[in-house]
Amino acid sequence: MSKYIMLLNWTDQGIKTIKDSAGRYDAAKASAKQAGITFEAVYMTFGQYDQLIVADAPSDEAIATFILRASALGNVRGTTLKAFDESQYRKITAAV
């Protein structure tokens, strides 16, 4: 499993229907689970991004498909980062 960090912002549509956000989150979490993706941590934030999700996914393709499907609904848009844990970081930098 690889780790990903999703930095999300609500769109105008998402903000107009903010009271439905928790239900949309529940649906997204269920959809992610069906794709083998688990949410390790979820935060509502203030600042540059409205939400931060740390997820584990079986592949880049799985997370990309999930993100595109979620974005196509029009309520959020964002940036996704592939993350490396400490042991991966040490292995990568040792190889330089």
The reported pLDDT for the residue numbered 44 is: 97
CA dist 83 and 53 (Å) reads 12
Domain that holds residue 82: 2-94
Residue 14 belongs to domain with CATH number: 3.30.70.920
Contact partners, residue 71, CB within 8 Å, separation at least 6: 77, 78
- Give the phi and the psi of residue 47 in degrees, each rounded to 5: 120, -140
What per-residue confidence (pLDDT) applies to 37?
98
Q: How far apart are CA 37 and CA 21, in angstroms?
A: 20
3-state secondary structure of 59: coil
How many folded domains does the chain comprise?
1
Please give the model's pTM, rounded to 2 decimal places: 0.89
45: Cβ contacts below 8 Å, ≥ 6 apart: 51, 52
pLDDT band at 24 (very low <50, low <70, confident <90, very high): very high
Q: Residue 21: what residue type?
A: S
